[in-house]
Chain A
Amino acid sequence: MKIIITVVGKDTVGIIARVCTYLADNQVNILDISQTIVQDYFNMMMIADMSGSARPFEELTGGLDQLGEEIGVKIKCQREEIFTKMHRI
Chain B
Amino acid sequence: MINIYEVNETNNMIEHENLDVRTITLGISLLDCIDSDLAAVNEKIYEKITSTAKDLVSTGQAIEKDFGIPIVNKRISVTPIALVGGAACRCPEDFVTIARTLDRAAREVGVNFIGGYSALVSKGMTHADELLIRSIPQALAETERVCSSVNVGSTKTGLNMDAVNLMGQIVLQTAEATKEADSLGCAKLVVFCNAPDDNPFMAGAFHGVTEADAVINVGVSGPGVVKVALEKVRDADFQVLCETIKKTAFKITRVGQLVAQEASSRMGIPFGIIDLSLAPTPAVGDSVAEILQEIGLERVGAPGTTAALAMLNDQVKKGGVMASSYVGGLSGAFIPVSEDQGMIDAVNAGALTIEKLEAMTCVCSVGLDMIAIPGDTPASTIAGIIADEAAIGMINQKTTAVRVIPVIGKGVGETVEFGGLLGYAPVMPVNSFSCERFVTRGGRIPAPIHSFKN
A interface residues (Cβ-Cβ under 8 A, vs B): 4, 6, 31-32, 34-36, 43, 45, 47, 57-58, 61, 76-88
Contact = CB atoms under 8 A, between A and B. Distances in A.
Interface in B1-51: 1-4, 6-11
B237 interface: no
B255 A34 contact: no
B178 interface: no
B1 A45 contact: no
Contacts of A6: 7-8, 11
B2 A84 contact: yes
B7 A4 contact: yes
A77 B65 CA distance: 9
Contacts of B255: 82, 85-86
Interface in B314-368: none
The 8 closest A-B CB pairs, nearest first, are A78-B68, A82-B67, A34-B4, A45-B4, A87-B6, A85-B254, A83-B2, A85-B258
A32 B62 CA distance: 26
A85 B261 CA distance: 12
Nearest to B3: A34
A61 B8 contact: no
B66 A78 contact: yes
Contacts of B9: 87
B5 to A, nearest CB: 9
A61 B62 CA distance: 12
A61 B67 contact: no
B66 A79 contact: yes
Given A76-B68, A78-B68, A83 B4 contact: no
B254 A86 contact: yes
A82 B4 contact: no
B100 interface: no
A87 B68 contact: no
A80 B2 contact: yes
A23 B10 CA distance: 23
A87 B1 contact: no
B79 to A, nearest CB: 32
B257 A85 contact: yes
Nearest to B251: A86
Contacts of B11: 6, 76
Interface residues on B, range: 20 to 34
A46 B69 CA distance: 18
Contacts of A35: 4
A47 B1 contact: yes
B85 to A, nearest CB: 41
A78 B1 contact: no
A84 B10 CA distance: 10
Given A34-B3, A47-B1, A82 B68 contact: yes
A78 B67 contact: yes
Interface string B251-275: 1001101100000000000000000
Contacts of B257: 85
Contacts of B254: 85-86
26 contacts: A4-B2, A4-B7, A6-B7, A31-B1, A36-B4, A43-B4, A43-B8, A45-B3, A45-B8, A47-B2, A57-B65, A58-B62, A61-B65, A78-B67, A79-B66, A80-B2, A81-B258, A82-B10, A82-B68, A83-B2, A83-B6, A85-B254, A85-B255, A86-B6, A86-B255, A87-B251
A14 B255 CA distance: 34
Interface string B50-66: 00000000000010011
Given A32-B1, A86-B254, A86-B255, A81 B67 contact: yes
A27 to B, nearest CB: 19
Nearest to A82: B67
Give the one of B7, B11, B258 with max A CB within 10 A.
B7
B65 A58 contact: yes
Contacts of A36: 4
A84 B251 CA distance: 10
Contacts of A76: 11, 68
Contacts of A31: 1
Interface string B220-254: 00000000000000000000000000000001001
Contacts of B258: 81-82, 85
A88 B254 CA distance: 10
Given A4-B2, A34-B4, A83 B10 contact: yes
A80 B3 CA distance: 11
Nearest to B67: A82
B67 A87 contact: no
Contacts of A34: 3-4
Contacts of B10: 82-83, 86-87
